[in-house]
Each structure stands twice: as structure tokens, then as C-alpha cells.
Structure 1
């Protein structure tokens, strides 16, 4: 996995354990298309633009993911 020390942490999902919870970061040095970084608890990451992340947030607010939980 890429070194995360240069990334700005924005949120930790779960955080109630010591399992390496998924996290949301901002990479100020990345291109605009890869600035938002989401890591999972398996050491992988997904990179996306702020616009793509905004779309994901809009979908969540609209309840489009409610069936997942």
C-alpha cells in the first residue's frame, strides 16, 4: 500500500476496533482526478476526483444505498 503519511485524514469508518478500519483521505499532491482516497481494511485503496466523491455522497444522502445495510 502507498504511504499514507502525506495524506490528510478526513474520516474513519467504524473506528470501534483495531482492525484497520476503512478511511477517507485527501491527497493534496495528487492530480484532480485522484485527489480523494478511500482505503479499506485489507490495505487497498480507491482514488477518485472530488466530483466523483460528491456524486457518491449525493447518492448516499438520497438513500440509494439504504438496501446495503
Structure 2
């Protein structure tokens, strides 16, 4: 992904190929409302606040996203 200078990587999803897997970053210098960044393998980006990301993590831990992932 281009333009990742200054971003702190948190996670790579998949990572078992060379297809440009989705990545999760934190940008400590960004405004609070867009500090967490998720990039996909098509070069798109989603920016969210740490509060929004925490809500997503909480919902995932509660199992609310379990049905979305199918093999």
C-alpha cells in the first residue's frame, strides 16, 4: 500500500500470499476521528476513530460478526 509513512502497523489479515492483503494501522499524528486506518487489497482505505474501532472489536468479541465469515 502506498502512502503509509508514519503509520504504525497493527495487523495483517491473511498474509499468506502476495495479493496485497488488508492491513490495520494506527496513525498517531492523525486527528482523533480518523486515527485508525484499515486498507484493503484494492488500495481503498477506511479511517475511523479509536472509539469506533473499539466498538467494532467489542461487537466482534461478543460474536455479533461470527455469521459474516463463511468458508
Quickly name the TM-score band, shorter chain normalised.
over 0.9
Give me the TM-score of the superposition, normalised by structure 1.
Answer: 0.94
Structure 2 unmatched runs, 5+: none
Structure 1 stretches (4+) deviating beyond 3 angstroms? none
Cα offset for 1:5? 2.0
Aligned-residue CA RMSD (Å):
1.2
Distance 1:40 1:55 in 2: 20
Cα offset for 1:2? 5.8
Distance 2:39 2:33 in 1: 16
Give me the TM-score of the superposition, normalised by structure 2.
Answer: 0.92
